[in-house]
Structure formats: structure tokens, C-alpha cells
A and B are shown apart, each in its own frame.
Chain A
Amino acid sequence: GESVGLHLPTLSVQEGDNSIINCAYSNSASDYFIWYKQESGKGPQFIIDIRSNMDKRQGQRVTVLLNKTVKHLSLQIAATQPGDSAVYFCAEVAGGGADGLTFGKGTHLIIQP
């Protein structure tokens, strides 16, 4: 089964509201997590990352929270804008020298006007 999974396939929010996208992972050896944004017809775009020795990291309008106890990751987007509409993926990098990223299935964020 998937090592990284998303709780909800689609999330609809009002423009200006905050969005929270969740992700569960199962590999306790993962030492690095990344959120990507993928717009229709484009490749994934890096948003923010977090290492396993951290529980929170903030960027511009985005915050990633990591709860290692329950193996849960979330992406918070403040003051959602129409340009935030996309599919959001969490990805993990396992420890021990694994080279590829392991992606979850993604959450489609829809912004309502």
C-alpha cells in the first residue's frame, strides 16, 4: 500500500479563508518531508519542506506542521487566493539513502469566489 496518503481527495474553501491539507505517512524512518503544488498540466512545484527534527516551519502564507507521534503532516495556507487552486502533494524522503521521493495521492484544493 501507499507509504504516504492523503485524508481528503478534494478540499473546497472560500477565497480569503485559511486552508488545511492533511497527510499521513507510515514510514517512521522518513527524515524529510516536502509539500508540492501541481497546477493542471504542469510539473510539481516546491512549496515548503520540513525535517523530522522539527515540528513546525513557516514560509510565506504557508505553514507545515509535523506530528511524529501520530505520523501526520499538514499544510496550512493562509488567506487562500484563486491562484492557490491546484493539487497538493506531500512527499517523504526515507532515511537510509533512498533516492527517490515517495508521493501521496494528492488533495485537490478548490477556491470558491
Chain B
Amino acid sequence: NAGVMQNPRHLVRRRGQEARLRCSPMKGHSHVYWYRQLPEEGLKFMVYLQKENIIDESGMPKERFSAEFPKEGPSILRIQQVVRGDSAAYFCASSIGQAHYEQYFGPGTRLTVT
């Protein structure tokens, strides 16, 4: 049973480019969470999605960031016009239901903006 998968593991973008981060939840999980981790910091909640619905995006920056979890395929975190401050590790977690505390984390995508 594969765990949460994220790709790419490392992503380098120049300022102004777009970054797309993908997350495939564990088999049978229909709830996805995105977190951002700055160096030497804890993880910060960004957004919680179920299939085709954004449930809670209270942690998402108001501009340039968007997330989706389509009926088919992985969840996508999209960052438009990246800036250096977007450089961080982005982690995805999934849960089997609305038991939001039973979250299993993926290995993360490390985004570097040059």
C-alpha cells in the first residue's frame, strides 16, 4: 500500500515563473491537506480539500496561490509568479475521512526560487 506521493521532490523556478506541485493521497483517502515549511520552522497549514471541493483555505495566501483536487488525478498546489519568499518545503497529507487528525504525510516538494 503506497503512502502519500508527491512530485516533483525538488523544483527550481525563476522569479515570475509558475510552480505546480502534485500530491497523490494514500489509496482510499479522499481528504488532502497542504502545508508549507520554512527552514527551521514548523509546518503551516495552507488548505484542506476533498474531491472537487475546497473545504478550508484559511492558510492560503490571498494572491498567487491556488489548490485543486479534481475528481480524477492528484491534488495540485499552484503558485503563480513565484517570488524568493515562496522557497520552502511543501508537504501534502491525506486522511481517510474527516478525522482531520489522522493525517499521513508525503515526503514533500522542496521549491527553490532563484
Residues of chain A within 8 A (CB-CB) of B93 are 43
Number of A-B contacts (CB under 8 A): 65
Binds B, one of A62-70, A71-79, A103-111: A103-111
Q: How far is the CA of A72 from the CA of B4 in the complex (A)?
A: 31
B72 at the interface (CB under 8 A from A): no
Q: Is the Cβ of A100 less than 8 Å from the Cβ of B107? A: no
Interface residues of B in 21-51 (CB under 8 A from A): 33, 35, 40-46, 48
A93 at the interface (CB under 8 A from B): yes
A80 at the interface (CB under 8 A from B): no
B69 at the interface (CB under 8 A from A): no
Residues of chain A having any CB pair with chain B under 8 Å: 2, 4, 9, 32, 34, 36, 41-46, 49, 89, 91, 93, 98-106
Contacts A45-B105, A89-B42, A98-B56 supplied; 11 other A-B pairs, CB < 8 Å: A34-B101, A36-B105, A42-B107, A43-B91, A43-B108, A99-B45, A99-B56, A101-B35, A101-B45, A105-B41, A105-B42
Subset of 20 A-B contacts with CB under 8 Å:
A2-B42, A34-B101, A42-B108, A43-B4, A43-B105, A43-B107, A44-B91, A46-B103, A91-B42, A93-B100, A98-B100, A99-B33, A99-B45, A100-B33, A100-B46, A101-B35, A101-B100, A102-B45, A103-B35, A105-B41
